């Protein structure tokens, strides 16, 4: 198909949303229809996407193909069309979103089958894909912003999917509000861009930015920092990462699709999409890389001490997103996108694998009417026996995320770290970022192996009665896992490094070149070569292996107590377990004071006290007082009248003469 | 469509009919028995709406001038005439009004159970008043309509309102009256000065006064005249700190009263700025002091309204304070006087009419079921009344400016348009989008999400057909204006451009008269 059919990829899931949405309201038990429509529309969208991608592959466009749909907002010089843009970058994202999206939709058929909100779930999931596609296909910042806030909405609805629990509804709300802080940044950036280059179309930005802005100037730095605020919100970076761990309150397929593979990478996508701007703002790029590196390390350290299997993966996601920002902040945009893609494979696999484990644990506890925590790894152990497929696949994903060659994560992570190291030659602070990245890689290998060891190895701690009920997931769930497993293993071929001879290398980088060339002109990437490259690679591999072994040994060194009889954490482990108390700090420094000020000062004092009390009712009182005074003056006593008259006359005379 | 309308002479009678027909309806409704009154009122408002629709095609909005101008001497010795006209701005406001009124009537069917003929008759009188305000081109006539609209509202709140209705009605009345009396004095002074300066002709005509408003003599008293107009309109908007009548009025008003108040009456403040206060005295309005003051008040209103909305225990008060926040955006855009800012302000006015109107209807429907507006009395409703919850969610999202729904278009344009002129103020105003999400989603969570833990909420019925008939037109508007606002923006653009020229004193007012004469002939 030609790219002009691209709208079909959006309309198909939208139709799915409508059908499932109506079913959710009218006939929530029509599960068979929902099972067909929900994943069906996604597979169809994937087929369309693949066919369009094949066309692009055969004839890669030099310029982005922009397809206007209708005139949206227009006032004066501001003309925003609702248009879609197809180029190499959006095509890659399109394949990831519809491809991984399809797999997760299929998995959900098994995972959510018994949920009473089955139809509603698929309606939301379909709607999410609609907005995600608008986000990646939008040809201008405002259209991107429709998708940007739309995915935030779906994220909100899906995190709070089981809204009867206050904690879940709280988590959804938190996600939306924290994201809005980021959206504020995107809006300011849009205003600044519009008033400086007169357009918000990406093609215009790429064309006009190099002449409109002075490279390294204040203006471009401010614009990109505001844009990055948006990215930090959507992609859960310091200081706005706090919503993502809580977002695990949603069903696990949601965590896989939205909070690992697609939506949270939108910030990375936005930096790549506006790479021309970031490449002209070295200070902003440094901030992006620094925040990314710091987040990678910080989140990984929290991941070391979590027991909830999804929380480990959540902090892992925050950490891996940090890597992607380290990449794009080092101007290695294609490396950032590369890691985005491989991460989508192995993290989706890890989350769905975790979902499969939770599904099994949940069934076991359900069967015995036990109320233990089905997500706490201290209640697991030895699951490799009952769930071999899930186990092997998660182990592969673990090797991939840890960066063991030849799995996909090795190549993408290595490319990011190399780019950061290379940037260090001109700005030594990047050596620090690189070191953060390496240290985070060590921690990543550690906490992932800890996850595998606690979940699948050693003695089972689920309970004697429950043990009988632990079982492997059905084929509709393991099927998608297998495909993701294959992709996690071989995903590296997308962009093999140059040192591997005799194979086509740097496929993704070359593919993205037409889109990223303008940025590369502004800020070229200097990858280390020769012996430096070799040392870096060997160091990376040793780091990964050391982390894996340490994670394994440390976890199984002594017996793990089950969750309910586990002792309290002490010392620094307690700080890590409590996530450095960041949520508590935000709560007491920002949220509670803001609510208290709004209630006690603004509402009770200013509104009711000053304006209403003194101003409005006060002026009523003043009128009454004046009336009373006037009444007293008309006393009928001539003497008083004379005094007042004389006083007035003197005052008047004084005023005139002066 | 245009040819058909021309063949029936639509342009020559439509504005009069729109004013007179509801009044006749009001007489008929007040004389009819209760059971018939509401049906009759619905028929009248529906016919009124259908009649007004023709304006969309028949009014030539391309020049941004006043079209369909008709002037009939009323009290010639005082220079008062019945003069009406319409441009793109008035057009959208009139259509917003006529579209809402049938919904207000059927939305009241089960809420109002006492003295129905009187209630519906007042609603119809109010309709005339509101339309009159938007099309009056004679300052005396304008003032009459302004008051005509005030009195029915006073009774709607005072008779059919809640427990504290008398306090609220009086507060509403005195607040508005204080502003409008000042405005009346200002109008009288302007007429007098214009007569002295000109050829002695006493005239309340809008264009006549516009011609003399910027002359040197008027110039010396202009700040005071502007202040009088400004206060009248600022109270109506309501601009911080003149807003404290609004929460009380909303809380006590019956549902339809709240809807009309929020969707139409508040817009008369911003409309007044655009049509009268600023074009009369652009020099004063855009002096550094006034601009800085108004922009500051608007931004305070945006942030303050949102923060105070966040901590309201009463849903209606929450929405009332959110209106203070939203209308702050409109004022900001009006004072930016850039094309995006002004068109954005107008879109905010229209968008707020849809989404806040729908919110008040929804709250009213909830109130009819549970007889409480306390947010904490609810929780978990999504399970009991899913359709209600779905619509409430969509409307709430529209209200907080989710792109793709109507609220975003206006807000975005206002912010884009103001940013170049007042970057720091606009930056602050943009934080409003964060606080808006906070108050709205927090309320939404406590109403439809969380545990269903109050037995009284377990058995309430979902929306019925009549209620859906009220909400669905508004929902269609919300989605349509969010995805394809172009037709409306196109209608507004020439008038908005003309307003901007007026703010710079670049329009020769006489030209208006000449052009509109040509158009109406």
Q: Which residue has the higher pLDDT, A559 or A151?
A: A151
Crossing angle of helices A266-273/A309-329, nearest 10°?
A: 10
Question: How many other CB atoms are found less than 10 A from the CB of residue A4?
Answer: 12
Nearest CA in chain B to A21: B390
Determine whether the interchain pair A598/B449 forms a contact, defined as Cβ–Cβ distance below 8 Å.
no
Using an 8 Å Cβ cutoff, are B409 and B347 in contact? Answer: yes
Among A25-34, A274-283, A633-642, the range scoring the smallest mean pLDDT is: A633-642
Q: What's the pLDDT band for B520 if we cut at 50, 70, 90? A: very low
At residue B199, the pLDDT reads 76
Contacting residues for A526 by C-beta, under 8 A, at least 6 apart: A422, A423, A425, A426
| Phi and psi torsions of B508, nearest 5° | -80, 115
Half-sphere exposure at residue B52, Cβ-oriented, CA atoms within 13 angstroms: 29
Residue % of chain A over a pLDDT of 90 = 71
DSSP A144-197: HHHHHHHHHHHHHHHHTSSTTSHHHHHHHHHHHHHHHHHHHHHHHHHHHHHHHH
What gap in Å lies between CA B398 and CA B392, rounded to an integer? 10
What gap in Å lies between CA B397 and CA B402, rounded to an integer? 6
Q: Render pLDDT for A458-512 as a digit per residue (tens, 0 to 9).
A: 888 888 888 888 889 899 999 999 999 999 999 888 888 887 777 787 889 889 9
Find which of B171, B179, B244, B442 to mutate to test the A interface (most A CBs within 10 Å of its CB).
B244
Q: What's the pLDDT band for B521 if we cut at 50, 70, 90? A: very low
Three-state secondary structure of B315-383? HHHHHHHHHHHHHHHHHHHHHHCCHHHHHHHHHHHHHHHHHHHHHHHHHHHHHHHHCCCEHHHCCCHHH
**DSSP-derived pairing of the beta strands B67-75 and A78-86:** unpaired
Residues in chain A within 8 Å Cβ distance of B397? 153
Determine whether the interchain pair B403/A149 forms a contact, defined as Cβ–Cβ distance below 8 Å.
yes
Q: Render pLDDT for A165-219 as a digit per residue (tens, 0 to 9).
A: 999 999 999 999 999 999 999 999 999 999 999 999 999 999 999 999 999 999 9
Q: Render pLDDT for B293-305 as a digit per residue (tens, 0 to 9).
A: 999 999 999 999 9
Residues in chain B within 8 Å Cβ distance of A599? 311
Q: What's the pLDDT band for B507 if we cut at 50, 70, 90? A: low
Q: Render pLDDT for A238-294 as a digit per residue (tens, 0 to 9).
A: 999 999 999 999 999 999 999 999 999 999 999 999 999 999 999 999 999 999 999
pLDDT beyond 80 at A102: yes
What gap in Å lies between CA B306 and CA B288, rounded to an integer? 27
Q: What's the pLDDT band for A632 if we cut at 50, 70, 90? A: low
Determine whether the interchain pair B433/A180 forms a contact, defined as Cβ–Cβ distance below 8 Å.
yes
Question: How many other CB atoms are found less than 10 A from the CB of residue A623?
Answer: 10
At residue B463, the pLDDT reads 93
Q: Render pLDDT for B26-45 as a digit per residue (tens, 0 to 9).
A: 999 999 998 899 999 999 99
Among the partner-chain residues B397, B449, B485, the one whose CB lies closest to the CB of A153 is B397
Q: Which two tokens stand for residue A488?
A: 């996690």
Q: Is A308 helix (H, G, I), strand (E, B) or coil?
A: strand
Taking the CA of residue B83 and the nearest CA in chain A, the distance in Å comes to: 31
Nearest CA in chain B to A160: B449
At residue B519, the pLDDT reads 35
Contacting residues for B72 by C-beta, under 8 A, at least 6 apart: B81, B82, B83
Q: What's the pLDDT band for B512 if we cut at 50, 70, 90? A: very low
Determine whether the interchain pair B311/A595 forms a contact, defined as Cβ–Cβ distance below 8 Å.
yes
Nearest CA in chain B to A146: B403
At residue A430, the pLDDT reads 95
At residue A503, the pLDDT reads 78
Determine whether the interchain pair B430/A188 forms a contact, defined as Cβ–Cβ distance below 8 Å.
yes
At residue A574, the pLDDT reads 86
Among the partner-chain residues B174, B450, B485, the one whose CB lies closest to the CB of A163 is B450
Residues in chain B within 8 Å Cβ distance of A76? 338-340, 343, 417
pLDDT beyond 50 at B517: no
Q: Render pLDDT for B460-504 as a digit per residue (tens, 0 to 9).
A: 999 999 999 999 999 999 999 999 999 999 999 999 999 999 888
Q: Is A198 helix (H, G, I), strand (E, B) or coil?
A: coil
Determine whether the interchain pair B412/A73 forms a contact, defined as Cβ–Cβ distance below 8 Å.
yes
Determine whether the interchain pair A76/B340 forms a contact, defined as Cβ–Cβ distance below 8 Å.
yes
At residue B511, the pLDDT reads 47
Find which of B309, B403, B444 to mutate to test the A interface (most A CBs within 10 Å of its CB).
B403
- Tell me the H-state helices in A457-502: 464-467, 475-490
Determine whether the interchain pair B241/A181 forms a contact, defined as Cβ–Cβ distance below 8 Å.
no
Residue A239 gets which letter from DSSP? T
What gap in Å lies between CA B406 and CA B414, rounded to an integer? 13
At residue B194, the pLDDT reads 86
Among A226-240, A408-422, B166-180, the range scoring the smallest mean pLDDT is: B166-180
What gap in Å lies between CA B223 and CA A233, rounded to an integer? 46
At residue A162, the pLDDT reads 93
Among A646-650, B189-193, B223-227, the range scoring the smallest mean pLDDT is: A646-650
The pairs formed by A58-64 with CB atoms below 8 angstroms and a separation of 24 or more are A60/A88, A60/A511, A60/A514, A61/A3, A61/A86, A61/A87, A61/A88, A61/A514, A62/A514, A63/A87, A63/A203, A63/A514, A64/A90, A64/A139, A64/A202, A64/A203, A64/A515
At residue B509, the pLDDT reads 52
Taking the CA of residue B516 and the nearest CA in chain A, the distance in Å comes to: 25
pLDDT beyond 60 at B513: no
Among the partner-chain residues B244, B437, B485, the one whose CB lies closest to the CB of A177 is B437
Among the partner-chain residues A153, A166, A599, the one whose CB lies closest to the CB of B450 is A166
At residue B10, the pLDDT reads 87
Using an 8 Å Cβ cutoff, are A280 and A209 in contact? Answer: yes
At residue A657, the pLDDT reads 57
At residue B211, the pLDDT reads 84
pLDDT beyond 70 at A636: no
| Residue in the structure block whose two tokens are 């949303």 | A17
Q: Which residue has the higher pLDDT, A591 or A613?
A: A591
Using an 8 Å Cβ cutoff, are A546 and A445 in contact? Answer: yes
Q: What is the mean pLDDT of residues A618-628?
A: 72
At residue A388, the pLDDT reads 93
Residues in chain A within 8 Å Cβ distance of B445? 160, 163, 169-170, 172-173
At residue A605, the pLDDT reads 86
Using an 8 Å Cβ cutoff, are A566 and A378 in contact? Answer: yes
At residue B515, the pLDDT reads 38
Residue % of chain A over a pLDDT of 70 = 97
Q: How many CB pairs under 8 A join A and B?
A: 142
Q: What's the pLDDT band for B80 if we cut at 50, 70, 90? A: very high
What gap in Å lies between CA A145 and CA A136, rounded to an integer? 10
Q: Render pLDDT for A513-524 as a digit per residue (tens, 0 to 9).
A: 999 999 999 998
DSSP A567-631: PPP-THHHHHHTGGGHHHHHIIIIIHHHHHIIIIIIIIIIIIIIIIIIIIHHHHHHHHHHHHHHH
Nearest CA in chain B to A24: B386
Using an 8 Å Cβ cutoff, are A400 and A410 in contact? Answer: yes
The mean pLDDT of chain A is 91
pLDDT beyond 70 at A124: yes
The answer to whether the predicted template modeling score (pTM) of the entire model surpasses 0.90 is yes
At residue A185, the pLDDT reads 96
Residues in chain A within 8 Å Cβ distance of B430? 184, 187-188
At residue B120, the pLDDT reads 95
Residue A473 gets which letter from DSSP? P
Contacting residues for B450 by C-beta, under 8 A, at least 6 apart: A163, A164, A166, A169, B379, B380
Could you tell me how many helices (H) and strands (E) chain A has, helices first? 27, 2
pLDDT beyond 80 at A531: yes
């Amino acid at each position: 198909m030609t790219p002009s059919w691209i709208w079909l990829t959006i309309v198909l899931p939208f139709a799915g949303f409508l059908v499932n949405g109506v079913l959710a309201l009218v006939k929530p038990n029509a599960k068979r229809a929902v099972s067909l429509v929900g994943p069906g529309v996604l597979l169809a969208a994937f087929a369309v996407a693949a066919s369009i991608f094949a066309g692009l592959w055969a004839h890669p466009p030099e310029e982005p193909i922009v397809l206007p749909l209708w005139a949206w907002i227009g006032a004066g010089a501001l003309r925003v069309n609702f248009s879609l843009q197809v180029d190499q970058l959006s095509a890659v994202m399109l394949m990831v979103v519809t491809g991984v999206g399809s797999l997760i939709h299929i998995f959900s058929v098994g995972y959510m089958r018994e949920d009473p909100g089955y139809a509603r779930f698929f309606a939301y999931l379909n709607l999410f894909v609609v907005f995600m596609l608008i986000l990646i296909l939008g040809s201008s910042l405002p259209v991107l912003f429709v998708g940007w806030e739309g995915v935030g909405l779906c994220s909100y609805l899906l995190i709070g999917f089981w809204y009867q629990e206050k904690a879940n509804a709280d988590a959804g709300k938190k996600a939306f509000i924290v994201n809005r802080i980021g959206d504020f940044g995107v809006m300011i950036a849009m205003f600044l861009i519009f008033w400086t280059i007169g357009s918000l179309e990406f093609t215009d930005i790429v064309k006009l930015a190099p002449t409109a802005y002075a490279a390294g100037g204040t203006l471009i730095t401010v614009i990109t920092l505001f844009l990055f605020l948006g990215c930090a919100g959507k992609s859960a970076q310091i200081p706005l990462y706090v919503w993502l761990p809580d977002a695990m309150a949603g069903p696990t397929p949601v965590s896989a699709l939205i909070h690992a593979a697609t939506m949270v990478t939108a910030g990375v996508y936005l930096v790549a999409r506006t790479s021309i701007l970031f490449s002209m703002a070295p200070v902003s790029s440094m901030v992006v890389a620094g925040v990314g590196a710091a987040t990678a390390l910080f989140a990984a350290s929290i991941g070391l001490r979590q027991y909830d299997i999804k929380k480990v993966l959540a902090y892992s996601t925050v950490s891996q997103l940090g890597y992607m920002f380290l990449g794009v902040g080092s101007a290695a945009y294609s490396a950032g996108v590369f890691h985005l893609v491989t991460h989508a494979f192995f993290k989706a696999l890890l989350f769905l694998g975790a979902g499969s484990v939770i599904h099994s644990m949940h069934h076991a506890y359900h069967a015995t009417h036990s109320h233990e925590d089905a997500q706490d790894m201290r209640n697991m152990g030895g699951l490799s026996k009952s769930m071999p497929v899930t186990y092997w696949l998660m182990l592969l994903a673990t090797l991939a995320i840890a960066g063991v060659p030849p799995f996909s994560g090795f190549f993408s992570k290595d490319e990011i770290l190399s780019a950061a190291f290379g940037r260090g030659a001109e700005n030594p602070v990047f050596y620090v970022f690189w070191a953060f990245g390496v240290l985070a890689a060590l921690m990543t290998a550690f906490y992932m192996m800890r996850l595998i060891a606690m979940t699948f190895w050693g003695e089972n701690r689920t309970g004697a009665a429950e043990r009988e009920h632990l079982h492997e997931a059905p084929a509709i769930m393991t099927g998608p896992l297998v495909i993701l497993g294959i992709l996690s293993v071989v995903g590296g071929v997308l962009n093999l490094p140059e040192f591997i001879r005799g194979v086509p290398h740097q496929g993704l980088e070359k593919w993205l070149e037409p889109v990223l060339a303008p940025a590369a002109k502004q800020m070229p990437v200097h990858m280390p070569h020769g012996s430096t490259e070799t040392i870096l690679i060997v160091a990376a591999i040793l780091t990964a292996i050391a982390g894996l072994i340490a994670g394994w040994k440390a976890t199984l060194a002594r017996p793990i107590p089950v969750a309910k009889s586990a002792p309290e954490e002490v010392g620094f482990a307690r700080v890590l377990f409590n996530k450095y108390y960041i949520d508590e700090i935000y709560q007491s420094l920002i949220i509670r004071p803001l609510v208290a000020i709004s209630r006690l000062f603004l509402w009770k004092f200013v509104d009711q006290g000053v304006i209403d009390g003194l101003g409005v009712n006060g002026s009523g009182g003043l009128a009454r007082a004046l009336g009373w005074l006037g009444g007293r003056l008309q006393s009928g006593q001539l003497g008083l009248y004379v005094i007042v008259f004389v006083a007035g006359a003197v005052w008047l005379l004084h005023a005139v003469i002066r | 469509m245009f040819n058909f309308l021309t063949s029936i002479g639509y342009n020559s009678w439509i504005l009069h009919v729109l004013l007179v027909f509801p009044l006749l309806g009001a007489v008929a409704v007040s004389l009819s028995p209760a059971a018939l009154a509401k049906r009759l009122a619905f028929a009248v408002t529906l016919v009124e709406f259908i009649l007004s629709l023709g304006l969309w095609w028949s009014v030539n909005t391309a020049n941004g001038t006043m079209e369909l101008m008709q002037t009939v001497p009323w009290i010639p010795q005082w220079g008062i005439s019945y003069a009406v006209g319409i441009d793109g701005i008035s057009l959208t406001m009139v259509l917003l009004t006529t579209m809402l009124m049938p919904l207000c009537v059927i939305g009241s069917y089960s809420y109002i159970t006492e003295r129905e003929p009187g209630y519906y008759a007042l609603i119809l009188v109010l309709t005339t008043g509101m339309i009159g305000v938007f099309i009056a081109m004679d300052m005396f006539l304008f003032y009459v309509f302004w008051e005509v609209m005030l009195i029915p509202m006073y009774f709607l709140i005072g008779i059919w309102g809640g427990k504290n209705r008398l306090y609220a009605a009086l507060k509403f009345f005195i607040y508005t009256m204080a502003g409008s009396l000042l405005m009346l004095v200002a109008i009288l002074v302007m007429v007098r000065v214009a007569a002295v300066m000109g050829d002695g002709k006493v005239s309340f005509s809008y264009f006549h006064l516009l011609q003399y408003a910027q002359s040197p003599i008027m110039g010396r008293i202009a700040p005071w005249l502007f202040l009088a107009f400004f206060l009248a309109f600022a109270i109506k908007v309501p601009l911080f700190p003149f807003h404290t009548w609004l929460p009380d009025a909303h809380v006590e008003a019956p549902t339809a009263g709240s809807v009309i108040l929020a969707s139409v009456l508040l817009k008369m403040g911003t409309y007044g700025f655009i049509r009268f206060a600023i074009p009369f005295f652009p020099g004063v309005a855009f002096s550094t002091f006034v601009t800085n003051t108004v922009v500051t008040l608007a931004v305070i209103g945006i942030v303050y309204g949102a923060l105070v909305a966040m901590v309201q225990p009463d849903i209606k008060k929450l929405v009332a304070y959110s209106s203070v926040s939203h209308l702050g955006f409109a004022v900001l855009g009006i004072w930016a006087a850039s094309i995006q800012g002004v068109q954005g302000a107008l879109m905010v006015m229209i968008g707020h009419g849809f989404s806040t109107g729908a919110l008040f209807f929804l709250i009213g429907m909830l109130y009819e079921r549970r007889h409480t507006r306390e947010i904490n009395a609810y929780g978990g409703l999504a399970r009991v009344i899913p359709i209600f919850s779905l619509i409430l969610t969509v409307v709430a999202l529209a209200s907080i400016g989710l792109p793709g729904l109507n609220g975003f278009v206006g807000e975005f344009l206002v912010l884009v348009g103001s940013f170049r002129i007042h970057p720091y103020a606009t930056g602050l105003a943009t934080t409003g989008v964060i606080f808006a999400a906070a108050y709205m989603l927090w309320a939404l969570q406590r109403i439809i999400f969380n545990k269903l833990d109050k037995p009284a909420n377990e058995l309430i019925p979902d929306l019925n057909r009549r209620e859906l008939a009220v909400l669905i037109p508004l929902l269609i508007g919300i989605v349509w204006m969010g995805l394809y606002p172009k037709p409306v923006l196109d209608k507004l653009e020439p008038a908005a451009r003309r307003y901007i020229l007026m703010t710079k004193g670049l329009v020769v007012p006489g030209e208006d008269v000449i052009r509109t004469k040509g158009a109406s002939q």
